[in-house]
Amino acid sequence: MRVSRPISSLRYPATCRSCRARFSTHADAPPTSPAPANPSARWLSETKRRVEKCIAVGIDGRQTKRAGDVLKALDEEWRELVAGREGFLTDSTRAGFLRRRVVWGEMDSMGHVNNVIYNRWAESARVEWVTNYAMHHDPENGKRWSELMSSRSDGLILRSIRTDYKFPMTWPDHISVFHKLKELPRESDSNFELDVIILSELHRRPAARCEEDIVVYDYRAGKKRSIMPFMMNQFENTWKAQEETRQRVEKRIVELEETVRELENETWERADSAEDVGAGSAKG
């Protein structure tokens, strides 16, 4: 099996129609303070362990509250902290799937979710992503958004999908799937690209990432067409929301990192820390 580089470092021609799928096994870098530019996929669990280590050493009442606030944020805001920092919009009016159950039949004879299933999840979640525009963000053009999922007039066609598998998911689990615009398209463009993140709710980290190239197609004329104005209006709003979310979550992560570093400095990194690493074994 060929090891791939991280998804952000690879680009493929938009005309490629094949599905490229493989496992990524690049090493995770430890988090730093403030928020790391390229965070570990396990940043959430690593940060939790750092706080728990401070608690184990011994903390006072004021420190207990700060530690509790961090742990609460990691538990309640984890989807935003993992996906929102990349610009994915994770609220229920934007999500493709939110806590969708992984069923036993989606696994194969190898004992993990079949590779094809991830693409099915991404495509099904994209339909919900479009439907969300019709229902929540642009109901005035709801019918036109809904018709994009049919072949009656103007529609959307998946030209290519690329999938990077991060770890093999198994049953039981749940998934949340989010889409975002890779870049803001132009009105003259006949296609747009989407990034997809598939989160394991059990492990609270990405199980897979996809890149989708979507073509706007006029079924009546039998050819591609440019992105329609009502779509561009919403794409511009979405792009703005993505950037605002990314900046807000990055700021939030910096705040959490600073709090954790303060706790570490006040507890096990103190010169007179109650945790005397290695001393216990030396005293024998």
Instruction: Say if strands 154-165 and 20-23 run parallel, antiparallel, or are unpaired.
Output: parallel
Query: Residue 243: inside a domain, yes or no?
Result: yes
Here the contacts of 76-81 (C-beta below 8 Å, separation 24 or greater) are 77/252, 78/44, 78/204, 79/176, 79/199, 80/245, 80/249, 80/252, 81/43, 81/44, 81/249, 81/252, 81/253, 81/256
In a domain, 194, yes or no: yes
64 φ, ψ (degrees, to nearest 5): -60, -40
Task: Let me know if residue 6 belongs to a domain.
Answer: no
Q: Is 222 contained in some domain?
A: yes
54 assigned to some structural domain: yes
Quick check: is 33 in a domain?
Answer: no
Cite the DSSP H helix spans in the chain. 43-57, 61-76, 78-82, 115-132, 142-147, 229-266, 279-283
Per-residue pLDDT tens listing for the chain (284 residues): 444 434 333 333 333 333 444 333 333 433 334 445 556 778 999 999 999 999 999 999 999 999 999 999 999 999 999 999 999 999 999 999 999 999 999 999 999 999 999 999 999 999 999 999 999 999 999 999 999 999 999 999 999 999 999 999 999 999 999 999 999 999 999 999 999 999 999 999 999 999 999 999 999 999 999 999 999 999 999 999 999 999 999 999 999 999 999 999 999 877 455 545 455 444 44
Number of domains comprising the chain = 1
Rounded to two decimals, the pTM is 0.82
Q: Is residue 218 part of a domain?
A: yes
- Calculate Rg over the CA atoms of the chain: 22
Nearest to 235 by CA among 153, 133, 98: 133
Predicted pLDDT at 229: 98
DSSP letters, 177-237, are EEEEESSPPPTT-SEEEEEEEEEETTTTEEEEEEEEEEEEEETTTTEE-PPPHHHHHHHHH
What is the predicted pLDDT for the residue at 38?
Answer: 56
CATH of the domain at 182: 3.10.129.10
Q: What is the pLDDT of residue 42?
A: 85
User: How far apart are alpha carbons 197 and 175 in whole angstroms?
Assistant: 10
Instruction: Measure the CA–CA gap between 211 and 41, rounded to whole angstroms.
Output: 18
Give a yes or no: residue 283 inside a domain: no
Check residue 31 and give its pLDDT. Answer: 38
Look at residue 7 in the predicted model and tell me its pLDDT.
Answer: 36
- The span from the CA of 4 to the CA of 25, in Å, is 7
Domain region containing 176: 41-266
